[in-house]
Structure 1
Amino acid sequence: MRLSSLLIVFATFATAALLSIVAASLSADLIEDTSKSAVKRELSLAGQDWAEVHAEGLQVFLAGTAPTEADRFRAMTAAGRIVDAARVIDNMQVIATADIAPPRFSIEILRNDAGISLIGLIPADSDRDAILRTIRKLAGTRTVTDLLETAEYDAPRAWQDSLDYALKALRDLPRSKISVDAGQVSITAMANSPDERQELSAKLVRTAPGTVDVNLDISAPRPVIAPFTLRFLIDEDGARFDACSADTDRSRTRILTAARNAGMDASRTNCTIGLGVPSPNWAEAVEVAINGLAELGAGSVTFSDADMSLTAAQGTDQAVFDRVIGEMDSALPEVFALAATLPETPETVAEGTTPEFTATLSPEGLVALRGRLSNDVARATTESFAKAKFGSEQVYMAARLDETLPQSWPFRVMAGLDALAQLHHGTLRITPESLAVTGKTGDTEANARIAQLLAGNLSSTDHFSIDVLYVEELDPLAALPTVEECIADIQAFNKDNKIVFEPGSGTLDASAADILDSIAIKISDCPEMQLEIQGHTDSQGRESMNQALSQTRAQSVLTALQDRRILTKGFVANGYGETQPIADNETEEGREANRRIEFVLITPDTGAAGDAEEGSAADEATAGDDVAASEGTSEGDDTAEDSTQADEAPAAPAEGESATASEQEATETAPAPVDSETEPSETEVEAEAETAPADEAEQTAPAGEETTNDQN
């Protein structure tokens, strides 16, 4: 009985336990299915259908390959909105992405009167110090602002070519912005004149490397023309401009087309574009005037700002004159005022009855004033004005007084003398009806300047004529020697008057001062040119020592010329050591000839300028070998005298080099790197050179051969 009761109780508990296990299992499955379904639904709503969902108990596992890391994060966030984020297990992968592309390397260089600024991103292995050294040399005492950043990526193709070209171009562009990219350089700059703009553009295109595309935007300021003057005439010599001004390229084209249609030679195309035009309809007014004058057949038309005066040729038919002038007056734009004159046919008059004033300027500069002036005040004023223009000792006054002269006579005399002063020699003749300037000049712009002076100082009813001939022999610029003639003269003088230095040193000998004075005078008389100053030595001593010494000597000559106020913008100094002998180094005479300074013209055809600058990096690497030793240290000579001389008389180091006595002694016992910086290089190559101990050099030197470099 008792046993049966126990069995019943046990069976009841066992059944309850079993039912509990089944219920718990069913509950867990229900929770897993519910969580899995809810999470999958949320992922679908979030657009993350790629994710796979598994549930084990209270944990939810996310698997699959996410397109991006952002999608992976969105999937985790969506699941966390359904179940506790701590229950979400991340088993997802992300599609492998390509390597991150390198950044765009570029530099913006801004240069103006305040200094130079650099901003941009450059490769980490770029020689930033060399770039800044070059920039600081160009800036001088002005500020250099360095805002460059670096990135650890390889330099792209043509990056160095673009950078080197930009730094070279910056030398000639004091006001500019240069944008540097790999294989492309964009230059925005300002030139002082249209001629300089054309010259700069040609040079920049010519010197661009083949690997670099160059975009140029060079502007030139337009001159201010006051008064805005134009004078066109037709006579027995044909149609021509004495002065031509335009406000735009389009305006100039329109004016020149009208002039050619009126009979002007097509080769005469000079017309100055400037500021100060009195009306935007300037070209239209000039076109009307030129067409009208062409219809009359002969005469002159002069514009001074908006005032226009036309003088027909004597003998022009009155009816034709009236018709043409009427049509012109109607066709002229507003603002312009026309004053037209048809000179009367002169009647025969007794000789000497027509009043006149003449001024004659001789080739020697003497001025004779004759004829008539209004009164004592006018004569005194005229004489003082002439002396101010031509010199107190050059003026001879022989004019008489005539109170019947027109009231405007003194003003016409002053304007005429001002015009005469523009000539080398010539004559001024003033009558009541006209003012005429004739003569010769060496200035191609004299005609235009005279026309502008007379148009600005005379009234619109005053008639004047200009007959000025340009003579090349009188042109001081044309008389200057050519660049080739200059360099030939300098080379000949240098050959007969050798520039010498102190033994084993870059210091100029005292005797070189007079020679450099003469060379400086010759250079100052030459046009602007590109010049390479070359230093050469004989073959005694080590090659690296000779290279450094020749560079120092070439730089000393360049510095000496700069001290003499010579413009050396296009000059470079390069040392060639012993590599270019002109005589036998086995004889004393030959070695003496090889120790020399040469002046060589840099031309675009030979490409010497680029070679000199681009090759300077290699020169610097050689020049870095033991600068101190190259300036006087004896090597391979075991005599006490030579050793003492080398120790007691070291040469002064070149600019940018450092070589103290203690450093020189240190090179005899241990290798020591020496930095050498030379003027013309764009980048600097740092080289470490081991200096052999003196006893080792003695062992390698041939017996009986002098290896000291004291005479190089």
Structure 2
Amino acid sequence: MSDTNRISALLGPACFVLAACLSVGTAIVSAKLVERRSIEDVTAALQADAIRWVEVSANGLQVFLQGEAPDEAARFRAETRASAIIDGDRVVNQLDVAAIDTTEPPRFSLDILRNGDGIQLIGLIPGTNGDEAFAVAESVADIAGSEDVVNMIETAEFAAPSTWDAALDYGLLALATLPRSKITVLADRVEVEAVGQTREERAEFIAQLQRDQPPGVEVVLDISAPRPVITPFALRFVRDAEGGRFETCTADSAASRDRIVAAGLAAGATGVVPCTIGLGVPSASWPIAVETALAALTEMGEGSLTFSDADVTLIAAVGTPQDRFDDAVGNLTANLPDVFSLQAVLPEASAEQATGPASFVATLNPETGARLRGRLPPGTIGQSVHTYATSLFGADTTNIATREVADLPQGWSVRVMAGLTALADLHEGELTVEPGILRLSGRTGDTEMVSQLTRLLSEELGQGADFQLDVTYDEALDPVASLPTPDQCVERIRAIQEETKIAFDPGSTEINDAAGEILDQIAEVLPDCLHVRMEIGGHTDSQGRESMNLNLSQARADAVLNGLLARGILVSNLTAQGYGESQPIASNETEVGREQNRRIAFRLLAAAELDQAAAAEDDQPRTTDGILARGTIADWPFEASPLPRPEPPEDDN
């Protein structure tokens, strides 16, 4: 072989070796670049979240997290943040959790966050081997239904504080009540943050949570609701011989409300001042304008101040000295923000005629209807007032005996119709229209009515019009406040059944005539109790097979529920549950006792009472339509859904 051929034979393998070395070198360099870039990106993300106790390293595509987390929640947060930067499969979590100082009990707390994505549990609770954390998570899972539950609860082997169980039960009650919330359970304190879809829903949430507050546990409720749109944005303050008072108060923020209330107290208001926070404020200077105007009213003495959006009306009391009126109006004009327009009125004493002043009086009585007396313009204008009154109060319940008088003050019929509109919103009352003033008094069952009437009259009468309201709230007229309590609802139904209980024909699950008459009486009670969650419980004696008795009791409870539905009763607050022979109230050894055990019972939904005997038999948590058998969650909001009717029973129960 020639030297040239020998060299060629050696160069071929050498080139392959060199190419392989270059490829390996390139791969190593690329891997190092990936490692460095991964370390830099993950480190930057962790530091941006103030997680500086994590050391980040890499080996090829794997990224290692090392260090000591202050607690399990911090450890989870670090891993989650890193997984958001690179593929989670590449993250190797080697983080340790700092050991808990066992020299003194830790501060137990449980954070529960519920939103559209599910429920998260984070915290440290008392426990020995993790069973307590599992039990809490299981209870939350029952509440969550189809929602996902992320459990990051740790336990510490210490005795539970004396109020811990009560606080935890209350926290679970709040979780079940509030669809979107953040609940923090501490040893003797529960903090609840939530949002209601409406102001009414917010009020219901607060009422229920306040009613169920456990003794010895401090409860902090921060439940908000969307702010209402207020139009017109109105405020009215009156000063007279009895002092000062807000007849309506609105603000655009809590800070604005506080300033306005403070100015009202300085102007003579006393007690608690309700002031609605809402949208629609005409200017960011609203609280400044109100403060300035209240100061002017105080300087003037007695009178009224009315805001309707940016229109301000200041009316002095009859007899106010001219110089005092001029000084107050001058100061207010100079200091009122530019967007607001002022109309100030000093009524003349001569406006109160001594003989036969023009007047119109309308009274509203819930039993006799409306009665109209006084003066109206002649012709079609006066007739239009008559027509309007009958449309408001009804032709058969409106008594009209007015006089046609010419030369009445300008806008008289407009003021009368505005007053009649306001009167129609009351349960009973009296309207008086005179030159220069409109007076309305009466009773209402709506706590917001005074504010609504103030806005109505301010808008209808226009700027500069003077009116006086003496409308009182009567709780007996409030359709919500006057509703029976849950206990009263159950007692009324029990009173009906004490006279004659709901019974079924032997072997039947059908409502007979006698049972139908009882359901007719119960159906008269239930419309006032739609706000109360109740259970229709079916019970049998112990004769026959246990499974057959359970099916029979369920079928009979369903029959009662369906019977009420057939009578036009809304049953969304009712649920039917069969208990079979498991809850006797008398001995099954005698016919009298068996007769007492065969029954239909109405009761308030309270989870602590459900299936206690059955749960004790197998020592397992049981649920009934989503109600925790071992909890203390009451008034569970689920819909009634009758089970399929079982086969006809063989025995007479």
Query: Which residues in structure 2 correspond to 1:229-628 (within 5 Å)?
Result: 229-266=234-271, 268-346=272-350, 349=353, 351-352=355-356, 354-504=357-507, 507-509=510-512, 511-526=514-529, 528-543=531-546, 545-562=548-565, 564=567, 566-568=569-571, 570-602=573-605, 609-612=606-609, 618=615
CA contact (8 A) 2:503 2:515 kept: yes
1:546 Cα deviation after fit: 3.8
Matches within 5 A, 1:35-50: none
Distance 1:362 1:154 in 2: 65
| 3-state SS of 2:281 partner | coil
Equivalent pair of 2:142/2:627 in contact (CA under 8 Å): no
* Cα-to-partner distance string for 1:524-563 (whole Å, 9 max, x where unaligned): 1236223233332223235555455434544543454455
Change (3 A) 1:129 1:569: farther
Indicate conservation of the 8 Å contact 1:108/1:177, yes or no: yes
* Letter paired with 2:295: N
3-state SS of paired residue (2:529): coil
What SS does the corresponding residue of 1:592 show, helix, strand or coil? helix
1:131-151 Cα offsets, whole Å, 9 max, x none, are: 999877xxxxxxx7x889999
Calculate the TM-score normalised by the size of structure 2.
Answer: 0.66
Which one has the largest radius of gyration?
1
* 1:234 partner SS: strand
The CA distance in 2 between the partners of 1:470 and 1:73, in whole Å, is 72
Query: Secondary structure of 2:262's match?
Result: helix
Secondary structure in structure 1 of the residue aligned to 2:318: coil
Paired position in structure 2 for 1:711: 652
Instruction: Give the 3-state SS of the residue equivalent to 1:462 in structure 2.
Output: coil
| Pair 335,428 (structure 1): closer, same or farther in 2 beyond 3 Å | same
Deviations 1:658-705 (A, max 9, x none): xxxxxxxxxxxxxxxxxx995344699xxxxxxxxxxxxxxxxxxxxx
Q: Distance in 2 between matches of 1:472 and 1:133?
A: 39
Counterpart for residue 47 of structure 2: none
State whether residues 554 and 577 of structure 2, in contact with CA within 8 Å, keep that contact through their aligned partners in structure 1: yes
Amino-acid identity (%): 43
Letter in 2 for 1:710: D
The change in CA–CA distance for 1:495 and 1:333 in structure 2 (over 3 A counts) is same
Q: In structure 1, how many angstroms separate the alpha carbons of the residues matched to 2:246 and 2:155?
A: 57
Could you list the runs of 5+ residues in structure 2 that have no partner in the other structure?
Answer: 1-27, 33-55, 63-92, 98-110, 122-129, 161-165, 631-648
Cα distance in 2, alignment partners of residues 263 and 215 from structure 1 = 32
SS in 1 for 2:439: strand
- Distance 1:281-1:323 versus aligned 2 partners, 3 A rule: same
What secondary structure does 1:465 align onto?
strand
SS of equivalent to 2:329 = helix
Matched-pair contact (CA < 8 Å) for 2:267–2:295: yes
1:616-695 mapped onto 2 (5 Å cutoff):
618=615, 679-681=625-627
User: What letter matches 1:447 in structure 2?
Assistant: V
Q: Which amino acid aligns with 2:412?
A: W
Corresponding position of 2:107 = none
- 1:404 deviation in Å? 1.8
Unaligned segments of structure 1, at least 5 residues: 1-41, 47-67, 75-96, 112-116, 137-143, 603-608, 624-675, 685-707
CA distance in 2, matches of 1:442, 1:293: 31
Residues 314, 165 of structure 1: alpha-carbon distance in 2 compared, 3 angstrom cutoff: closer
SS at match of 1:489: helix
Question: Does the C-alpha gap of structure 1 residues 620 and 494 become closer, same or farther in structure 2, counting only changes over 3 Å?
Answer: farther
Query: What one-letter code is carried by the residue in structure 1 that aligns with 2:317?
Result: A
In 2, the alpha carbon distance for the partners of 1:479 and 1:365 equals 23
- CA distance in structure 2 between the aligned counterparts of 1:601 and 1:288, rounded to whole angstroms: 54
Deviations 1:435-454 (A, max 9, x none): 12223334333322221111
Deviations 1:596-639 (A, max 9, x none): 1222235xxxxxx222468598399899xxxxxxxxxxxxxxxx
TM superposition shift of 1:408: 1.6
Q: Secondary structure at the match of 1:224?
A: coil
Q: Is the 8 A contact 2:442 2:471 kept in 1?
A: yes
- The verdict on how the C-alpha distance between 1:439 and 1:559 changes in structure 2, with shifts beyond 3 A counting, is same
Aligned-partner Cα distance in 1 for 2:480–2:170 = 32
Whether contact under 8 Å (1:614, 1:681) holds in the other structure is no
Contact conserved, 2:582 with 2:614, CA < 8 A, in 1? no
SS for the counterpart of 1:379 is: helix
Shift of 1:365: 4.3
CA RMSD of aligned residues (A): 5.0
Q: What is the 5 A alignment of 1:148-187?
A: 172-173=177-178, 176=180
Give the Å deviation of 1:483.
3.1
CA distance in 2 between partners of 1:562 and 1:423 (Å): 34
- CA deviations 1:255-295 (Å, max 9, x no partner) are 122222222222x3212112111111211211222222222
Following the alignment from structure 1 to structure 2, what is the Cα–Cα distance between the partners of residues 162 and 435? 54
- Alpha carbons 2:118, 2:144 under 8 Å: kept: no
- Answer whether contact 1:536 1:576 (CA < 8 A) is retained: yes
Note closer, same or farther for the CA distance 1:71–1:281 as it changes in structure 2 (3 Å cut): closer
TM-score (norm 1): 0.61
Q: Is the CA contact (8 Å cut-off) linking 1:616 and 1:681 kept in structure 2?
A: no
Amino acid at match of 1:378: I
Specify the alignment match of 1:30 in structure 2: none
User: Match of 1:515, SS?
Assistant: helix
Give the C-alpha shift of residue 231 in structure 1: 0.9
Q: Cα gap change, 1:589/1:383 in structure 2, threshold over 3 Å: closer, same or farther?
A: same
1:495-537 CA-to-partner distances (Å, cap 9, x unmatched) read 2231123535655445433322321320212362232333322
Q: Which amino acid aligns with 2:254?
A: D
Specify the alignment match of 1:227 in structure 2.
232
- Cα contact 1:483–1:527 (8 A) shared by 2: no
Equivalent residues of 1:255, 1:283 under 8 A apart: yes
Correspondences of 1:70-109 after superposition (within 5 Å): none
Aligned length: 521
Residue 587 of structure 1 and its aligned partner are, at CA, apart by: 2.1
Alpha-carbon deviation of 1:490?
Answer: 0.9
One-letter amino acid matched to 1:578: E
> Does the CA-based 8 Å contact 1:360-1:369 persist in structure 2?
yes
Partner of 1:525: helix, strand, or coil?
Answer: helix
